[in-house]
Structure 1
């Protein structure tokens, strides 16, 4: 069996389209169609059903894809490892990152990685909210969350836990008082996220490192860290904010840190992979992201000693 033909078929099956497969493989659409036809001729069976709207696999095609996709992935990984040993990293990395997070924390890291690895091409997609942990056609997604992930089956690598604080403006505290316990937060006006992270309940950790949750009164919800911070400074409500994002405002007196009986859960940053077959180039990029995060946190944190890794 011609492995090049098989590789093309696997890509067609994954993309659901000859055109998308040709784009992914960077070969002409006519070549993709010809290789598929040659593979079907070689095997003596039809592998796909074509119509005007979409492409689907025959039963034989489904069986071949199920049995051969891991083989092709393993061969590609072996090829990449050999090329890396001889010529450095090669191939394409598709990464998804939350928009504000990428601009503020990782833009220089990704550009530097691309510059130092000319054999690697990078496709980076960004979103205004926390990205879908499992995206199709992405090698790795960088996500953030508070608390434990809902899906324990995720192939996830924790990169950083950014310590956070609950803050309020002086005017807000003057009007509503200074909460001293987590339970008091239930009646206080709060600001939280809309879709990104978990807006309600808030997650806390006690002195014994046990996790607790507290429902809060969210009267203002946004999916933008800059809008959330602006609302907190304006006095709209109390907010959980990562320390590096509000350090200067606390020092300037624009925001006041609350001292509660528990600390808010840190902002977890993690890399999520579609499966456990992670290429060398993707691992290398994720490692650079992890190093960058640690450097930035140590430069900006008010409480470096409280970092939870």
Structure 2
């Protein structure tokens, strides 16, 4: 069995179109089609149902994919690791990072990685909301999350855990009073994310260390840390914000840290991968990100 043809088959199965598979592999669409036909002829089976609009795996195709995808990925990993000792990394990396603070944190390290490995083509998108690396065809997605992730099947590596605090401005405290427990806080105007971080309810850690959530009165929603901080400073509502992001405003007495007897769930910064087996360029890129996060948390 020709391994190049098998790699083409796996890329088509991943992307569900020959056009996207050809882009991922960096070869003409006609070559993709020809190599798939050669593989089907060699095996004596049809691997895809295809027409002008759709392409789907046959049962034989599903069985072949299940039995070979990890073998090819492991071979690619061996090849990439070997050649990394002989020459520079090459290929494409598609990555998604959080906007605002994520862009500030990682801008320099990504630029340095690009300079160090000029044969690696990097495509980078920014989003506060979590990006699914499989459906969006990302090699690596850096995300924020609080509490227990909704999808337990995600291949996730935690990069950092950042404590969060409840804050409010002096004028909102003067207007509504200082909440002392969750029951009082739930009656007051609050600020939350919109789509990101599972929005409303708010997530906390109770005295037993268990994750709990409470629905709050959200009067302002934004998928932007900067917008949330600004709204909290203006007295729009109370907010949960990572301490790292708002420490300067607490130190300046612009925002007041509030204790309600429940600890807000920390903000986790995590790397989400499409598979447990990753190629060398993504591996070294992820190591660069990890080192950067360690430096940030230690400053």
- Normalised to the residue count of structure 2, the TM-score between the two structures is 0.90
1:207 deviates by: 5.6
1:60 deviates by: 3.0
Q: Is the Cα contact below 8 Å between 1:40 and 1:47 reproduced in 2?
A: yes
1:38 deviates by: 2.2
RMSD: 2.2
| Cα deviation code 1:271-307 (max 9, x no counterpart) | 11222212333232222212212322333xxxxxxxx
**Aligned partners of 2:271 and 2:87: how far apart in 1?**
26
Q: Which residue of 2 aligns with 1:302?
A: none
Write the mapping of 1:264-275 to structure 2, written as runs, cut at 5 A.
264-275=264-275
Q: Which residue of 1 aligns with 2:5?
A: 5
Go from structure 1 to structure 2 and tell me whether the alpha carbon gap of 1:133 and 1:123 turns closer, same or farther (over 3 Å shift). closer
Go from structure 1 to structure 2 and tell me whether the alpha carbon gap of 1:208 and 1:61 turns closer, same or farther (over 3 Å shift). closer
Q: Which residue of 2 aligns with 1:120?
A: 120
**Aligned partners of 2:131 and 2:100: how far apart in 1?**
11
Go from structure 1 to structure 2 and tell me whether the alpha carbon gap of 1:15 and 1:135 turns closer, same or farther (over 3 Å shift). closer
Q: Which residue of 2 aligns with 1:306?
A: none
Stretches of structure 1 lacking an aligned partner (at least 5 in a row): 300-309
Matched residue of 1:86: which SS? coil
Q: Is the Cα contact below 8 Å between 2:129 and 2:143 reproduced in 1?
A: no
**Aligned partners of 2:17 and 2:219: how far apart in 1?**
46
> More deviation in 120-129 or 171-180?
120-129
Report how many residues are paired: 299
**Aligned partners of 2:187 and 2:46: how far apart in 1?**
65
**Aligned partners of 1:100 and 1:15: how far apart in 2?**
30
1:210 deviates by: 4.3
1:191 deviates by: 0.6
Q: Is the Cα contact below 8 Å between 2:103 and 2:126 reproduced in 1?
A: no
Q: Is the Cα contact below 8 Å between 2:222 and 2:228 reproduced in 1?
A: yes
Q: Is the Cα contact below 8 Å between 2:109 and 2:288 reproduced in 1?
A: yes
1:35 deviates by: 1.6
Q: Is the Cα contact below 8 Å between 1:80 and 1:91 reproduced in 2?
A: no
Matched residue of 2:23: which SS? helix
